[in-house]
């Protein structure tokens, strides 16, 4: 997989403090981006799940049972 390069502007004091503390900025940014992508994936999945749930609530169990019986009888 090919890597991409990004540029991030931060205030100088933050940069100086990260250097002083020995923070690996690249790793922190990489981890934060991965966490954000995963959070958004879960959020999108939840939204789709709620839409599907709403659609399924409109289907009556009686209709499902009747359809299954018809399919069985047609065999």
| Over residues 40-54, mean pLDDT | 96
Distance, CA of 38 to CA of 26 (rounded, Å) = 18
Task: Assign 32 a pLDDT band (cuts: 50, 70, 90).
Answer: very high
| pLDDT at residue 56 is higher than 90 | no
| pLDDT at residue 75 is higher than 90 | no
**13 backbone φψ class: left, alpha, beta (φ>0; ψ -120 to 50):** alpha
The answer to which of 15-29, 31-45, 52-66 has the lowest mean pLDDT is 52-66
Structure tokens at 16: 């100086």
């Amino acid at each position: 997989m090919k890597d991409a390069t990004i540029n991030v502007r931060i205030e100088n004091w933050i940069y100086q403090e990260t250097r002083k503390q020995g923070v690996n900025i690249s790793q922190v940014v990489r981890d934060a981006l991965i966490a954000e992508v995963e959070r958004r994936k879960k959020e999108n999945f939840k939204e789709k799940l709620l839409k599907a749930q709403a659609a399924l609530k409109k289907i009556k169990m009686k209709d499902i049972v009747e359809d299954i019986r018809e399919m069985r009888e047609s065999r």
